[in-house]
Structure 1
Amino acid sequence: MADSVPKASLYYYPPSIWCAAVLLCLEEKGYSEEEIDKKVVDLSKGENYALSFLRLNPKATVPTLVAPLEKTLSAEVESRFKALTETKTIIEFLDKSRSAFSRTNTTSSAPAPALAPATIAFTTVSNSIIDLLHSDEAHPGAARWYNARDEATLAKICPSLQAFFAAKRDAIAASLAESEKGAIQASAKTKKFWEDKSTAASEFAQLFGDGEKPESELSPEAKAKREEYFNTAKLVWETNLRNVLTRLSKEMIGPHALGDQLSLADLHLGAWLARLVTLAGGDISDKGDVAIGKLEKHIGNGFALPKDFQWTPARRDDTSEVKPVVQSKLAAFWDAVRERPSWKKVYANGLH
């Protein structure tokens, strides 16, 4: 692609669940590697709180897509850009931007299938599923942070999480210090944002810093914090995520969200489900029944999704008997997406 042609820039963090959804979209839509500049923002080092990134996205979240405005795509016009900061908006933009009707200066000859639902009814279902996956009840960050309901499990997960929140706290502290010295110019609103995020990160860093200590060694305040943590963890997994999985099972058609064809909702669902299966001890090699079985067991209290999706495998030869397969819709979904080239590329190094 010529240097004079404006390109979009994707700011992302490879282990991020919603960045994975966008990467799946890029693969499914057939974008070439040259069409979008990918810039890593290392969340583990708190780079999303740097003032330079906050100017692009004041919410400090990834993915963020900085895309040229349609009217400035011509090489003769000075390019102007807009930052898209919501995963749903980014994926919809990427879907529309590479099609038979778009003006994208594509360098790829790969097919560009439309992923948006074709009917109003399907659009309603798709939006409902996507909104559910991005709701507070389904928050994948909460699932990760509160993935311990006993002391033994807490001790296992606390080292990595303590390091993550400590790095975030320290990165914000460095920015605040530079601002106080006048080395960088930050608004009062940005400073308040930093302070609020620093407080939250410090509390988590302290909680996970004590995670390997037995309860008998904790101060009364630390004991109360741990009890509060376990109560929240039970709420997240045994109530919130249980409800979300149940609703998903009811709303999706199977094997994909809207039936046989991959659509926008599947990109969100695939990335979200990959995170939950990972937290439940699943692996990329797991087939659908195994992966969802591990997730059901992790939810606990005998939770099980209804096995209400039936399909018939292709006949291998004229003499072989073909029996229908009955499984949960999410298990069928997992089996469908794990075979796609996009899934194999995005999760080449394992689930996350």
Structure 2
Amino acid sequence: MSKPVLYTYSMSVWAAVPELALIELGYTEKDVEKKTVNLREGENFNPAFLKINPNATVPASTAEVTKYLVQNAKSQIKAGSSLIAKIHEDLYDPNFPRLLARDDDELSAKAGGFQHDFLANRQKALDKYSVTEDAAVHKEFYDNKLAGNAHVLSIYQSKVTDDVKNGFFEQSKAHWDALRSFILDILPAHLPNSGFIGGAKPGEDDFHVAAWLARIASVSGAKRTEEGFEELEKEVGVPIPERVAKYWNAWIQRESWKMVYQDGLH
């Protein structure tokens, strides 16, 4: 029987979920094969990968992959709850904050950095793969991705009207408002006074929450774990709830966290 394959990328927020689970649950490289898909170069838009995952995401399905790892692990942990679906809602998307901009200063800073290159590389990959023979069966997917990515790229390149740009600013502000609400109101209601949602050790929910928090700390300006919580609090603008603070501190002491985020938060 062949080993299950985990499609991953080191800077992917959702790929960090099964990566944490693999370590916490005691899996080894003999148990699961890893294959890297370079999201920065748009490799996930290759028709060959779309055959594996029509949504072009890494991993193929964070929730399903992680659940598989939990259910097939030698050690038992607490199964996931409705919190997993909640944290994966578009309203709390941790990927959009990498690209959003709330004013001209933030847009200018990102337009001169990684974000612009990321969008430009995606567009180049989409242009390349969308005209291949194997792409025909994924025409709707490519059409939507080409238009959506080109729209944001055009904002970065100052090729839109002020109304379009200001609309993007408002969308960005609204998204951060939703993230703050999750951190300040929704998440604390799911967290215990100490430890993890899964108890003394992380459960299925915890893998998703940990990766989400790490990404939000990262887009708040933190590069390393040591400064993550401080930068997160600055971005939110008010003291982080005590339960969230304790939860963060519980996670950053875990060996799994140290291994997944050894090169910095992402």
TM-score normalised by structure 2 residue count: 0.92
Contact 1:162 1:206 in 2 (8 A): no
Contact 1:22 1:87 in 2 (8 A): yes
Structure 2: stretches of 5+ with no match in the other structure: none
Instruction: State the shift of 1:176 in Å.
Output: 2.5
- Partner Cα distance (1:170, 1:37) in 2: 29
* SS of alignment partner, residue 198 of structure 1: helix
Contact 2:217 2:231 in 1 (8 A): yes
Instruction: State the shift of 1:11 in Å.
Output: 1.0
Q: Deviations over 1:215-260 (max 9, x none)?
A: xxxx7x43122211211111011x2112211210122113322443
- In terms of mean alpha carbon deviation, does 257-266 or 330-339 score higher? 257-266
Contact 1:130 1:265 in 2 (8 A): yes
- Partner Cα distance (1:299, 1:208) in 2: 25
Instruction: State the shift of 1:131 in Å.
Output: 1.8
* Structure 1 or 2: more helix by fraction: 2
Task: Tell me what 2:259 maps to.
Answer: 345
Task: Tell me what 2:87 maps to.
Answer: 133
Instruction: State the shift of 1:27 in Å.
Output: 0.6
CA distance 1:282–1:175, shift in 2 (3 Å): closer
Flag the structure with more relative contact order, 1 or 2, with Cα contacts below 8 A and sequence separation at least 6. 2
Task: Tell me what 1:89 maps to.
Answer: 64
TM-score normalised by structure 1 residue count: 0.70
Contact 1:116 1:263 in 2 (8 A): yes
Runs of at least 4 residues off by over 6 Å: none
Within-5 A mapping of 1:97-176: 97-99=72-74, 113-117=75-79, 126-146=80-100, 148-158=101-111, 159-176=113-130
- Partner Cα distance (1:36, 1:351) in 2: 24
Structure 1: stretches of 5+ with no match in the other structure: 65-85, 100-112, 118-125, 179-183, 211-218, 307-327
Q: Deviations over 1:291-327 (max 9, x none)?
A: 4343232133xx3333xxxxxxxxxxxxxxxxxxxxx
Q: Which has the larger radius of gyration?
A: 1
Match of residue 292, structure 1, among 229, 235, 242: 229
Within-5 A mapping of 1:34-113: 34-64=30-60, 86-99=61-74, 113=75
Task: Tell me what 1:234 maps to.
Answer: 173
**Alignment size in residue pairs:** 263
- Partner Cα distance (1:255, 1:116) in 2: 13
